[in-house]
Each structure stands twice: as structure tokens, then as C-alpha cells.
Structure 1
Amino acid sequence: MLRSCVSPAVLRPRPPRPGGSSASDSEEEGDEAGPRAALVEQSFQGLRRAFRAWENPRTETFHGHVLPPPADAFCYHAVHPRVAERCAALHALLQHRHQLRLARHYSRRLKAASDFVRRLLSAEPRPLRALCEELRTHAGHWAALQRRMRGDAWLRPLLLRRREAVAHMRRALGLLALQAARLLEERLEAALRGAARDGTPPELLADLFQGLEIYNRVLGELGPEPGSARSAAGAGCAAGMPPRAFPLQRVLALLAAERGRRAAEGLARLLRRGGGGSAVEEEDAGREAARSLPEALRALCREDERLVVPVLQALVASADGLWRSALGVPTGSPAAPSPRPGSACKAVRWLDATHAAAAEALHARYRPLCWEAAGAALGPRLELPAGGTGSAVGAARELQRALGPARIPAECEEELGRLCRRLQCRGALLAWQRDFALALGAGLSDRCTVPERSEGAAHSGTARLLQRLYPALSSALRNLPDGPEGGPPGSPCLRLQLLGCCLATAQASCSWLMGKAFQFLAAWALQQFLLVTQGDLQLLKAETDALELLVSAAFPEPEGSPQHLAPHRRLRSHHERWLCLQIRSAAASIQLFAGDVLKLFSTDCKRMSAEIFDQTMPLGRHWRLGLRAELPNSPSEYAAAAAQTVLGQVLQGAQLLPRDSQVPTLARVMTAFVEAWMDHILAQKIKFSLQGALQLQQDFALVRQLVQCEQYGLEPDTRQALLSLRVLQQMDGAILCLLQQPSGKAYLPPHGWPSLRQCCSNHGARTQELGASSLHSLETLEAAGPSAGPPPPLPGAEPPGRPRGAPPESYLSGGQQQWLALRLHGARRWRVPGLPCMAKSPEG
């Protein structure tokens, strides 16, 4: 069996090894033993017809068995166990040989990839295209090794039985390939920046872009296969991230970033040339910069075009794969060679025209990226702490003035204009931060005792500081740029920053107005309360309403569903809408408070007045005294104290209010005060004699006296409006009810009435006829008893304190009966003479 299955050539003795070196030391020695081992493997394939081998997984040893001939049901030979043992050993040796050869291939590929990474880490300059070609070789190590394992029957079981070892080889080769790609990416990126920085020879540009094309293809082949290895490679890469390809957009962005940085450096030097020195020197330097800035902008544009256009032309001519798909040009668009004479020249001219058009299209894409990068790089240079906020804003204004006369490309003007608006917006926000801190600090200690006057109106110091916040926000909203932010990576969004500042300002104003108003009202500090609710409120309400309109104009409601936006844009849009809603809510709260504050104030004044009268107004005997010779001519102490506590403070605080706010405020307070006074009298059901009614008349007259007092400095039209209040006429009607006493012990002789008859005659001053339901004044009353002495002086034809010529208005019908019920009833009655203006009252 052995003679028929094993080739006789295998039995030839092997020659001695030269130098005693092993076969694994060199590739030549492995090749020398290769033919003989191949013959053994071929012979062993013949043994498989009569031999089977299997591996014990526990001991990792092989066992064999010789199969009987097909025709025999049972066959045994004494040599079979020995043959099976030798064949199993030969099977194990052959499989081990293949595994050793696999390990040798893996080690050599691993060493070659490691050497390539070591060369990339060194600073040795080498052509980029050659490096990218070599990267292709090292990136394909695992694919070649995997093909070898799948094509070899002796190694194929390793894919299933030695998965961890196979995964380790795959991971090691993949990591080296990715690290080499990452290092080569850094070299390519540095070369691109160098090409944009200074003039590069065309042959080097062609080598660069051809290498880029090869690199992109290699990375595309490398990307899908490693999968998890690529994500793990990020930790081993120099920058901590996996390598990235160089599509056209990234190439243009790198060129634009480098050119934009250089342009930003030149503009920053020119804009900061006026810093330092006296004011006159700075002004002269500013004028010189204003004259030279347009020329500098034109020079920058010309220099950029001079350096970048050759680079883009070399890109178009050298790497079709970079730009054809990005520009939508078919790969096979160049004209094919034609056998006709002159066709080659036509094809070259057509190709040159195509390349020129492609280079122009790439330059059109490049220009916005370049000046966007210039704006992003120029902003931080102008906002350095040494320059300050004012310097950055001044430079932005100077640059904005120079954009028109410079006559530069539209992309440059648009991006630099956006930069200027962004710098002004940030400058306004920095000014806002400073003023906001001052306003918050002032609000903690401001007691509103020293108001600040401006244009006839008084405001608190905190309100003035809060007002200073609004112009900065308005300027920022008007200068808010659209498009990309242009800030450094990780910086907060300028739009969200601005909305946050607007919301903080509106809420701070709302908190100041409401918090201080309730605090001063609870402490009954009416002057400070009126200063906040009538001075500060009107000022901050107008500013907040204007700010809300600007916010609505700068941040309009988005049309349609935001689902079509990118995730980060969708999140920012959601935040913007939420902040806008909060700003509108704060403005609405201030408006609602402005509409309800006077009502709240009058309610509290009425409550406080009711408490004062409940505690201080006397009851009983004080109001039931008999008629005396001297009628009351001064108000009671309780009335003076109550009027000074409520009306006096309000009149004092009204001096700080604008004229259009004085009448509504004072009218509500006076109405609340008088109504609380009269409601207290009705609730306590105090009985008034004639003497008590005259005293109450003097007390009530104190309200008009305070209004007419020169101390409070009210204008004549304001006084007239307050003295014409209906509540004062109702107060006069209540006095008339009490003065019409049904009985009394005092005696008034008949001769005391002639002057009264003359007053009420047709030729007298009183000509108004009072109906049966009207109240009668004291002049229409006549006593029936004998006189006890000289008649007391009677009040004039009109009640004191009431404006002359103003007819007494009847109190409400229900109130009239209540006041009539408060008259003191006695045994005697007054006799009323028949006067032409009188009708006998049913109560008389």
C-alpha cells in the first residue's frame, strides 16, 4: 500500500544543510525544501483513500486508522496499527509545517508594517505618492493572509478551531495599518497646508494629489473590513481618532483654513495698528488705517487668488477621482483618441477647457470657505484680553466701513460683514454682562429713598441700571448674524446666548417691579411704592415691550415641521422657541401687573384706611354733643392722623410721578380712603347730632384741604380733576343728610332766618330747585323752640370745602337712607319756614 501511494522520489536522502542553519531562517532555505515537502503532501493525499486521521481536542494529538478494502467486509493485517501510527505522525507534521509557514508569513508582514510605521514617525522626507502606494501594500496584509488560510486545506480548520489566534492576527495587522494611515494622514494634511501657505512646485502638487487619491482608495478598502478594529485603533493613533479620508470638501476646507488664518493675521495687525499712545495719535492712526484698509483687503484677495488657483489647477489635472464625482462630471468624459488627423490636438484643447472650468468651479466653492475661516480666525484675535471689548467693537466698525470702498468679491464682503456683526453682537453681550452684574448688586441694597429724575419723571437707581441693559440687547438683536456661528469649537451658541440674556433681563425687571412693589406696600412705604409702580413700571414696561418685538423679529416662528432639520439644528430650534416663549411670558407678566397695580393699591389703601378708622375714630358721645355757640372750625385729631398716614404719603410720593400718572393714582387712593371712612361710619352706625355733623363736615373738609395744599405742588388742572371726584360729592351728600336733623334742643329765633330767606330767594345766589327726594342743606332748617341765646353763626350758602357753583350730588338712594338713619332723634322738632326753594321733607 505504501509503495503504491507514496512517490519513490520522497525516499531520496536530503542533502546536508550548509552552515547548519535551519530552514526557517531564510526564504531561500524554505524554497529549497519546498519541492520535497510538496511531493510528500501529494503522496499523503493518496493515503487518504485508505487512511483516516482525527485529532484529540484534549491532548491535541492525532490518531489514525487504516480502512479495509471496499470489497472486504472485514480485513485485518498486523502492519495496519503501525502504518496508522506512522500516517498519523506524518499528518501532524504536515499540518504543523503549514502552521509554521503561516506564522512565518504573518511575522514578516507584521515586521514590514511595523517598519513602515517607524519610517512614518521619523522626519525623513519621502514622496507622498510612494508612501501611499506602500500603505496600500501594508493595508492588504490581512486580506492576503486570510486568502492563504482559506485556500489551504491544512489551514482552513484554523478559522473555526483557533478563532482567538486568528482574531489576534487580524487585530494586530489592522491596528498597524490604521496607525500607518493616521500618520500618513497627518503628512498629507501638513502638505496641503504647506501648499496653501507658499508657492509649491507643480510636480510636488501633482505627487500630493495623486497620493491623496491613492490614500482615499486604500482607506475605502480598509474601512469596512476591520470594523471594530478601526474603532479600537483610535486609542493607538497619535490624535486619538481613526484616520479620515480626504474628499474634495475637506481638501478645500484645509486650503481655506490656512489661507484664512494668514488673512486674519494680516487684518488683525492692520486693525490693531492704532492701539497705544495718546488720543490724537490713535485718531491719526485710525484715519490712516481707514485709508489703507480697503487697499489691504484688495491685496489679500489678489494674493489668495495668486496662490490658490495653481493649487486647484494641479488638483484638477492630477486627481480625477477627487473632483469629478464632487462636481458631477462623468469619469469617462475626456474625449477618446480619434484616428482623424488633428483629433489629438482637439482632444487636448477640449481637456484643457474642461480642466479650466473645473478649476474655476472649485475656486468658487473655495472662496466662501476661505473668508469664513478668516472671520473665524480674526474674531478671537480681536477679542483678546489685551484689546478689550471696546477695541474689538471699534475694529469691527472700522472693518465694516471699509468693506464698501474695497470692491472685493461678494463672498469676502459677506463673510467679513457677518464677522463685524458677530463682533458687535458679542461686544454688546459683554457690556450687558457688566451692567447686569451692577444692576443685580444695586437691587440688593436699593431702598428707593433717593430717586433719580429724568425728563420730569423719577425712577430708582436700580431701574436706571436695568434700563441700560436694553440698548445693548437691542443692538445685539439688530446685529445678530445668520449662518454659521464662527466661534471656537465648544463655544456656546451666540443666538442662544443672546436669548438667554434677553430672558434674564426681562425676568430681572419683572422680579424688581413685583418684589419691591409688594415689599414697600407691605411696609406701607407709599412713596417708594409709587416710585416703583408708577415710575419704574412705566419705564421698564416700555423697554420690555420693545425688546419683545425685536426678539419676535429676529427669531420668527419656523414654518412647517422641524423634523427636516439636522439633529443639532432641531435641538437649537427647540431651545430658541422655549426661550422666546419665556420672554413673552415675562413681558406679559409686566403688562398684567401694570394693569392691576392701581387696583391692588386702592384695595390695600382701603383696607389700611379701614383699620386706621377702626382703631382711631371715636364713637358715641364725641358725635352726640349739643349745639354750641362756637361751631367746629378744625378737624379732629384722628382725621388728621389718618389723612396724613394715607393721603399725605401718597401726595408726597405723587410729586415723583409724571403728570399723566398723578390723577389716576391720586383719584383711586382718595376714593378708597373716603369710601373706607364712610363705610366705617355706616358699619358702626354712629349717631350724629347737629354739632357732631358739623364736626364731621370739618373732618371731611380735610381731604380737600390736603389736595389744595401748596406743599404737595400739584398742578391746577390736577387739583381741579381731584376736587371733581364723585366720591367727594357723595361725601358732601352724606354731610347734608346728617345736617338735616329731625329734632334738637337748641333754639334758633325767627330773626335768624332773614339772611337765609334772602339767600334762597329768587334773587339770591342759590337758584337750584331741590326735588322732593333731594337733601336739604342746613340753611333750610328752622327751629321751633324758644331761643336760649344769640343765634350761632351758620355756615355759608354752600358747605365749606365744596367748589362754588358745583351742585350737591345726591348720595346713592340706599346710602341716603342709611345716612338719614344716623341722625340723632330727640323730643323737639325743627320748624322749617316756608321758603320758595324748600319742600317739606317727610323726615322733618
Structure 2
Amino acid sequence: MEDGGSEPRGAEPCPQVAVRDVAGPGGLILLLLPALPAPGDGAARGAPPEPGSSSRGSLSRSLRKAEAMLRGCVSPGLRRLLPPRRGPGGEEEDEDEDEEEEASALLIPLERSFPGLRRCLCVWEDPRTETFHGHVQPQPGDSTATAAAAFSYHPVHPRVAERGAALHALLRHRHLLRLARDFSRRLKAASDFLRRLQTLLEQPVPEPGAGPPLRELCRELRAHTGHWSALRRRLRGDPWLRALVLHRREAVAHMRRALVVLALQALSLAEHLAEARLRALARAGGAAASLPALLSDLFQGLDIYNRAVGDLEPELGTAGCLPTGTTGHPGAAEAASRTFPVSRVLQIVAAERGRLAAERLRPFLQPRAGAGGDEPVRWEDTAVPCPPERGAAADTEPCGREEPPGTAAELRALRREDEKLVGLLLGVLVASSGSLQHHVLHVPKEKAPAAAPEPPEPGSAGWTSVPAAQALLARYRPLFWAAAAAALGHSVELLPGGTGPAAARELSSAIAGARVPRECREELGRLSLSLLCRGALQSWDTGFTRALGSALSDKCSGEAVPASGPVRSRTATLLHRLYPALALALRCLRPPPDLPPGPPHLRLQVLGCCLATAQAARSWLTGRACRYLAAWALPQFLLITQGDLQLLKMEMDKLVLLVDGTFLEPGDVSPPLPLAVMSHQELQLCRHIRSTATSIQLFSGDVLKMFSTGCKRMSAQIFHQTMPQGKHWRLSLRPELPTCPSAYAAAAAQAVLGQVLQGARLLPRDAQGPAMARGTTAFLEAWMEHILEHRIRFSLQGALQLRQDFELVRELVASERSGLAPETRQELVALSVFQQMDGAILCLLQQPGAAARAGARPWNSLRHCCGSGEGMETGRDEDGMEMGCGQG
């Protein structure tokens, strides 16, 4: 506070006293009261004047009389601040008031005459002892006295100065005591009002009309919230108390804090009480005879409550009053949010009415939802209900036709009952005066029309013709149906698992067949989509948990799928079942062009599930593929890379398309189309989903190359360890030709191509050919490269044996015992690697004839037969024969 008082002339500022946990009025009085005159002061003792002095004048006698009178009014024990001893009928309180009036009548003239004494009497306070001292000044205009003022002495002057200082101290002491008494009474009255409000709130929820009227309670609340304003006006208006604002700031801040905290507590309790009364009236039926009177009392009470909050806002906005965070009490902004404008009244009524509507609709959804709750839902066959068009008008009442009992009929009944009660409530609200009416009309108070037309009778048929009532009804309907949808969705979620999709279908059919307002169609349509989406997410949660558990123990032996025929791993099957639920959830989130998108938390939840599924699929494919290839478990590797990979990659492509169609970025659409602005979290999740799908695509393109490299590396190791060299291939020509392949060739073909065939049998027909072609080509190329690398020399007998070994591979992939499809076997036989193999054998068989011709170089043709566009190497033996082909 910045107002200060005028100190007596010559008075010095009073020193400030540190306040340390001053609790209650007693401690505050100790802060307020300045010290009385010093014990050695004659004014304090009341000692008689010196004998022989000429100070027994009329002024001395009047001062002694005033001192005795003040001492009788202000006792050292502060007995007037103690609790009064009440007699029957409050006689002690009446006697106390009479004494106060008598003392005031005697002291007011004295207080009015005291400022005149200041022309010749100067009083100041000693800051060290906190005592008052006086000094009598010479008469103004007396030049002789002025000249000799420093040397003149009058025996009456010291006594007059002492008595004047004592009178000043006692008068100020009296004003401080009265201030403390006023503060204590206000503090006690506010505390009693708080206890009364707390008692009303602790009682059970009463029926409408029970308890004291809210209007009277709010009037009393406004009086208690204005305690500090009244006390501040007294501090500013009393000249004896103005110095207290400057010199006792801690004491003033203590009073201010105590009264404002009590006012805030009273506002909080009154707010809860008013809200409870409003909810009780919202639950009441429209047929109650006393409902209009109760509504009138409620709205008048809310108007007075709003004014009380507005009166308290300036006190909360001042600096240093109630710092939020240290005392825990609200500031000005939070206190202003406690008011009851029309928007909050409509929200409270709509929330309570919506909760009642949800309780009535829940039994119609629970039996049907529970009947099919245990059956698994085929999400791929589930259709997304189409929400109603936003511009569709509300349907009218059916003429002469009763609807069958069910959800649709209950919706109709809810609409009729709500319109009846809300019509009565809004009629009273429009007819009410004060701040509520200005909020309704959206017109500033100073610009309100001077003479507004008289509104119709509340609850009558013509109340909806008032423009303000029509505006209120337009604002109430979306709030009511939104609250009903939210409460109904929460209650359905508490039902046994699997009830969401059935409840969504029931709601969709009900709003499609019932004649309900447009707001009901929109909100319940969104609820059905939300329930369907939540049901899909619950199914995903269960399926994802099973997939994670299966990934820890899956041996990838292969499981046949009756519908499609191919075999896939158990984990891939569980992961594949997650995508239809996610696709349905994404379609439920995709809003029509003129409706807002789904709830933000649901959108983030769906995107999180999509990302978790994509990353789980990528981890399963890449991790298991590398693990099985490193362990040379080709059946499992081919099952993962050619079975699971193709299946999950196709589902990921579909999922990315749905995500891109549901969550559009700003650059993806033209400005005329509505666009739901994505949050930063949604944008990041969408990018991670696309990145994961791209990595699966890249892995799908590189997996066959990785498989071919692994087969070639393993085949080279096998040939290096098992294929004989030296004289084994330089045998002389024998009469009988080789008829069976070598043992090393059979073992190598079984170790590599046998496992490839075992895994290819489990794959679909379109995936068998690429895997077998890569494996066969890698095996034969590694074989021929091994021969060229070690410069193996072949005789004619050895070349014939090598041809028999090569034929083993052709018979292995072309026979019916391989289990491959006929068209796959034909594709494998026609591979270019077999042609290179035949050309190499032909070159080896032609070597002896070519060596007899001098200067001939027939091995260039062998280089072209065995090499696939790569450089060649040849070796020459001691007989001059070149044989072998290889990679340079």
C-alpha cells in the first residue's frame, strides 16, 4: 500500500519491527502498539507538579483529567480484547458497546482539539527507546521571545511537554487498540463463516431446495471477502493510523494476508457449494414445482459470487500479497477462473446431464456387447461406420409411430427430457439480470440496451424465440452430447474385454435409425469410431504380447496356413495378425472432410502401435536371417527371407499407405482441403514408420545377394576340404566309364543344395525358383572356381569323372524327388551355369586331341565356357597341356 499519513510536526519515523511468525490477534497487537512513555517520565507516573510552581492552570488540570480518563479506557491488561463474559441475552456485549459510545463522545472533541496544540507543541518518538517526547515552542510573532528563545525558561513548559507527549501516545495507543479489535472481530467472523460452509459441504448431497438459500450465502460471502478493503479504508482515513502503513509494514502485511487467505478459502468453499447446487438442479426432473424458484435463487447467488470474486481480484493482483508457490494459495488469474460465467454454467449442467444419459444408455449396450465379447473379431472383415454429414439437419418427431424399445428409443426419450429441463433452466437464465445476462448477450455492460424487451415466462413455449436463449441452446447441445459420449465411452471401457466393437456397432445402428439432433449424431458417431479403434488397439496389445513371447522360443520349423497354402514361421503369423487391427484403427482415425480428426492421445497411441509393429517385424526378419545364415541353417533362413519377409513387407507397404493417407503433412494437400495439423510427436512417429518400412524394403532387395554370397562361401570351404587333387584326376584311361559321382561331390551337394531344397519346398511356388537358382549358381560357380584356383590337371578319365560329378547337381534339381514344381525344375535346368558347366567338360574332353597339334591353343574356348564374363587363368603342366579355368 502506498498511502501514508501526516505525522505530527517534529515527529520522527517509527522504527520497523521484524515480524516472526505472529499468529493471531494477540501477537498482532504487540506489533501495532508503540511503547508508552518511559517509566521515568512524569506523564507516565502521573506525578504532581513541583511545589511552588505556577503550573496549576486550567491546561494542567485538563491534561490530568484526560490522562485519567484514557487510563480508565485503556488498561494495561488489554481487558477489552479478551472474550466478553456474556450474560443471558448478551447483556455484556450491549454494556461494552455503551461504554465505547460514551468514551468516544468524550474523546472525540479532545482528538479534534489536539491538532491545534501542535502549533506550540512538538512531539517526536525516540527510535531507540520507542518513547514519545515533547517540546513547547515559543509563541509565534513575539520577536523578543524569538530572540531569547535559546536562553529563556519557563517552569510550566517541561510539564506541558510531558503531558502533551503522554496525550499523543495515549490517543495513538487507543486508535491502534481499536484497529486490533476491529481486525480480530473480522477474523473471527470470517472463520465462523468458513466453518459454516465446511459443515454444509460435509453433509450428504441434499435434494434441490435443501439448505440455506445460495443467494444469502453469497451475500454474506461478499461481506467477508471485503474485510481487508474496509480495514484498508480505515487505515487511509484515520490520521492516527496513516503512519502505521509506513512504519509497521509487516504488521499491515500480516493483517492483509490473514484476511485475504480467509477470503480465498471462503471463495473456494462457496465455489464447491455452488457447483454442487447446480449439479443437484441438473439432476432434478423438470416437473418439480419449486424448480423455477430454486433456479432463480441459484443464478442470483452466482451473480453475487462473481461480484465477490471481482472485488477480490485487485487485492490478489498487487505485488507481495500472496506469492503463489510459497503459500500455496491461488493468485489473481486462478481466482478469476473460479467465476461462474454462462459458459461454465452450461458446461456443468451438460456434464451432469451427460453422465445421467450415459447411465441410461449403458444397459442397452452391455448385454449385446457381452454376448459376443468372447468371440474373436475378424478385423479384416470389420467395416468402419460412416459418421453423419456435418451439415445434416436434425430430424423431426415421427408422426403417429412408436419406435421399438432399444438404444434408438432411449435416445429419443433422452432428447425430449433434456429439452424440457434445459428449456426451463435457460429460460430462468435469460430472465436473470446482472453479469450473467451480459455474458449471454455478448454485449459489454456499458453498451447494453437501455430497455430490453421483457423475456417470456421461464419454461414457456415462447422462450426459445429469444435470441439469447437460441444462442444458449446452440452452445448447450454440443456440450451435452459430448459429455454423454465421453461418459458412455468411459463406462463401456470398464465392461469385459471385447465389448468395444459390439458396442460401436450398436451405437452406429441406433443413431442411423433414431431421429436425433445433428450434435447427437456427430458425437455418438465419433464415439463409435473411438470404441472400434480402442477395441482394435486392445486386440493389438494382446497379439503383440504373444508375438514377442513367440519370438523368444520360435524354432522356425514352419506352420502351414490353410487359407493361402505357404508355410511361415509362428512369429510371422502372429505379427501378420496385427496389421488388420492397425489398418482398421487408422481408418477410424481418418476423419471426413468437414469433421475434426480423432483425439490426440488416440492418434499418438495408434501411431505408436504401428511403429512398434514395424520395428518388431524388422528386428525379427533381419536378426533371425543373419543368425540362421551364420549358423548355416538354410531351411530356416529361406523360411524367414522368402516366406516371412515377403508377407510382412507386403503388409508394411499397405500400412505405410494408410498412415500417409491419415496423417497428412502440410505439403501433401492443396489449401482448399481441410488439414489436421500434426503435432511434432505425430510427425516424428510417421517418419520413423516410413524409415522402418524403407529398411525392410532394402533388406528384401539384398537378401538374395546375401544368400548367394553365403552359399558360395560355404561351398568353397567344402570343396577346399573335401575335393581331392593331384593323381586322383590324372588316372589313365580305363575300359569302363565312370557311372557314379564321387563321394565328395555327393556330400557337398547334400550339404549345400540339399538344405536349399529342404527350405525351398516350404516356400510358395513363385519364391522357389529364385532361391534355388541363386543357390545352384553359387554352388557350381564355387566348384569351378575351386578347380581353377588350385590348377587341377585332368586326364581323359578324370574329365569323364568330373562330368559325372557335375551331372549329380543337374539330376538333384531336375528330378521329381526334389519336391519342386515342374515349372521351377524347368527354370533351373535352363540356368546359364549349367551351360557353362557343359562347356567346361567339353573343353576338358577335347584336351588330349588338341595337345597333339603343335601350336594349337584350344583352351581359349574353355575360358569362355567356364568364365562368366570374368578374367581367366591357365596353368601348363610338364607335358605342355593347358587345363583349367578360373577367375583372374
TM-score, length of structure 1 as denominator length: 0.81
Q: Distance in 2 between matches of 1:728 and 1:57?
A: 117
Listed as ranges, the matches of 1:123-522 within 5 Å are: 123=200, 125-198=211-284, 199=286, 201-227=291-317, 228-229=321-322, 231=324, 244-274=338-368, 292-331=406-445, 336=450, 356-384=466-494, 387-454=495-562, 455-480=564-589, 493-522=601-630
- Of 744, 750, 762, the match for 1:638: 744
C-alpha contact (below 8 Å) 1:733/1:810 kept by paired residues: yes
Question: Contact conserved, 2:430 with 2:455, CA < 8 A, in 1?
Answer: no
1:678-697 matches, within 5 Å, as: 678-697=784-803
Which residue type is aligned with residue 190 of structure 1? Answer: A
Cα distance, 1:3–1:652 mapped onto 2, change above 3 Å? same
Matched, 1:703 2:799: no
Kindly indicate whether the alpha-carbon contact (under 8 Å) linking 1:520 and 1:528 is maintained by their aligned counterparts in 2.
yes
- The offset of 1:535, in angstroms, is 0.4
CA contact (8 A) 2:732 2:795 kept: yes
Offset of 1:10 from its aligned partner?
9.7
Pick one of 582, 585, 592 that aligns with 2:698.
592
Aligned-partner residue type, residue 89 of structure 1: A
Any conservation in 2 of the 1:120–1:183 contact (CA below 8 Å)?
Answer: yes
- Counterpart amino acid of 1:716? P
Is the counterpart of residue 727 in structure 1 residue 833 in structure 2?
A: yes
Can you list the C-alpha shifts for 1:186-213, whole angstroms capped at 9, x where unaligned? 1211121122111352122112111111
CA contact (8 A) 1:290 1:398 kept: no
- Superposition deviation, residue 42 in structure 1: 2.4
Letter in 1 for 2:122: R
SS of residue in 1 equivalent to 2:847? coil
1:572-628 CA distances to partner (integer Å, 9 max, x unpaired)? Answer: 811111111111111111111111100111011111111111111111111111211
Alignment match, 1:524 = 632
TM-fit CA distance, 1:634 = 1.6
The residue identity in structure 2 corresponding to 1:395 is A
> 1:125 is matched by which residue type in structure 2?
G
CA offsets 1:97-120 (integer angstroms, 9 cap, x no match): 110011111112112212222222
Q: 1:450 to 1:720 in 2, by over 3 A?
A: closer
- Structure 1 residue aligned with 2:32: none
Q: 1:39 aligns with which of 109, 114, 117?
A: 109
AA aligned opposite 2:436: L
> Pairwise CA RMSD of aligned residues?
3.7
Aligned letter for 1:86? R
Gaps of 5+ in 2: 1-54, 82-92, 201-209, 374-401, 670-675, 883-888
State whether residues 635 and 756 of structure 2, in contact with CA within 8 Å, keep that contact through their aligned partners in structure 1: yes
Distance in 1, Cα, partners of 2:244 & 2:601: 55
Alignment CA distance shift 1:661-1:3 (3 Å): farther
Change in 2 beyond 3 A, CA 1:537/1:327: farther
Deviations 1:61-87 (A, max 9, x none): 112222334541424323322222222
CA 1:453–1:772: 2 relative to 1, 3 Å: farther
> Distance between the aligned counterparts of 2:701 and 2:131, measured in 1?
98
Q: Secondary structure of 1:226's partner? A: helix
Return the letter of the residue paired with 1:294. Answer: A
In structure 1, what is the Cα distance between the partners aligned to 2:414 and 2:834? Answer: 81
CA 1:469 to 1:5, structure 2 compared with 1: closer, same or farther past 3 Å?
farther
Alpha-carbon displacement from aligned partner over 1:664-715 (angstroms, at most 9, x marks no partner): 1111111111111111111111111111111111111111111112221222
Contact 1:66 1:80 in 2 (8 A): yes
Are the equivalent residues in 2 in contact too, given 1:457–1:656 (CA < 8 A)?
yes
Letter in 2 for 1:557: E
Distance 1:704 1:824 in 2: 31
Q: Partners of 1:232 and 1:82 in 2: how far apart? A: 55
Residue number in structure 2 paired with 1:751:
none
Tell me by how many angstroms 1:5 deviates: 8.2
Aligned to 1:107: 184
Q: What secondary structure does 1:153 align onto?
A: coil
Displacement, 1:389?
Answer: 2.3
- 3-state secondary structure, aligned to 2:469: helix
Q: Structure 2 matches for 1:570-581, cutoff 5 A? A: 573-581=679-687
Equivalent residue, structure 1, for 2:42: none
Measured after TM superposition, the shift of residue 446 of structure 1 is 0.5
Identical amino acids, percent of aligned pairs: 57
Amino acid at match of 2:250: E
Q: Is the 2:729–2:794 Cα contact (8 Å) retained in structure 1?
A: yes
Question: Given that residues 439 and 465 in structure 1 are in contact (C-alpha distance below 8 angstroms), is that contact kept between their aligned partners in structure 2?
Answer: yes
Bigger mean CA offset, 75-84 vs 435-444: 75-84
SS in 2 for 1:53: strand
Q: Deviations over 1:364-413 (max 9, x none)?
A: 111111111111111122222xx312223212211111111101000011
User: What's 1:797 paired with?
Assistant: none
Q: How does 1:532-611 map to 2 (within 5 A)?
A: 532-558=640-666, 573-611=679-717
Contact residue 5 and residue 46 of structure 1 kept, 8 A = no
Distance across 1 between alignment mates of 2:872 and 2:325: 97
Which SS does the other structure have where 2:185 is aligned?
helix
Q: Secondary structure at the match of 1:378?
A: helix
Distance 1:658 1:78, change over 3 A: same
Query: Shift of residue 261 of structure 1?
Result: 0.7
* Alignment partner of 2:734 out of 623, 628, 637: 628
CA contact (8 A) 1:624 1:692 kept: yes
Secondary structure of the 1:629 match is coil
- 2:395 aligns with none
Counterpart in 2 of 1:87? 164
Which amino acid in structure 1 is aligned with residue 505 of structure 2? R
Tell me by how many angstroms 1:28 deviates: 3.0
Range with greater deviation from structure 2 (662-671 or 349-358): 349-358
Please give the alpha-carbon distance, in whole angstroms, between the structure 1 residues aligned to 2:79 and 2:242: 26
Larger RCO: Structure 1 or Structure 2 (Cα < 8 Å, ≥ 6 residues apart)? 2
Greater shift, 535-544 or 314-323, is seen at: 314-323
Partners in 2 of 1:275 and 1:817 — Cα distance?
75
The match for 2:879 is: 826
Deviation at 1:328, TM superposition (A): 2.3
Pairwise CA distance, 1:320: 4.5
Residues in 1 aligned to 2:558 and 2:242: alpha-carbon distance in whole angstroms = 95
Match for 2:548: what amino acid?
L
CA distance in 2, matches of 1:594, 1:813: 26
Where 2:406 maps in the other structure, the secondary structure is: helix
Aligned partners of 2:369 and 2:500 also within 8 Å: no
Could you tell me how far 1:93 is from its partner in structure 2? 0.8
Deviations 1:728-772 (A, max 9, x none): 1112222222222246999xxxxxxxxxxxxxxxxxxxxxxxx99
Contact 2:354 2:487 in 1 (8 A): yes
Contact 2:652 2:693 in 1 (8 A): yes
* Deviations, residues 335-389 of structure 1 (Å, cap 9, x unaligned): 656xxxxxx9x767899889722112101111111111111111122222xx312
Q: Is the 8 A contact 1:513 1:532 kept in 2?
A: yes
**Amino acid of the residue matched to residue 301 of structure 1?**
R
Q: 1:276 to 1:434 in 2, by over 3 A?
A: closer
Write the distance in 1 (CA, Å) between the matches of 2:220 and 2:531: 48
Partners of 1:731 and 1:276 lie apart in 2 by 69
Cα gap change, 1:349 to 1:816, in 2 (>3 Å): closer
Q: Distance in 2 between matches of 1:251 and 1:815?
A: 86
Q: 1:543 and 1:348, CA in 2 relative to 1: closer, same or farther beyond 3 A?
A: closer
Partner of 1:614: 720
Q: 2:369–2:503: 8 Å Cα contact kept in structure 1?
A: no
Q: Deviations over 1:424-448 (max 9, x none)?
A: 1111111111111111111111101
Alpha carbons 1:734, 1:816 under 8 Å: kept: no
Q: Cα gap change, 1:439/1:156 in structure 2, threshold over 3 Å: closer, same or farther?
A: same
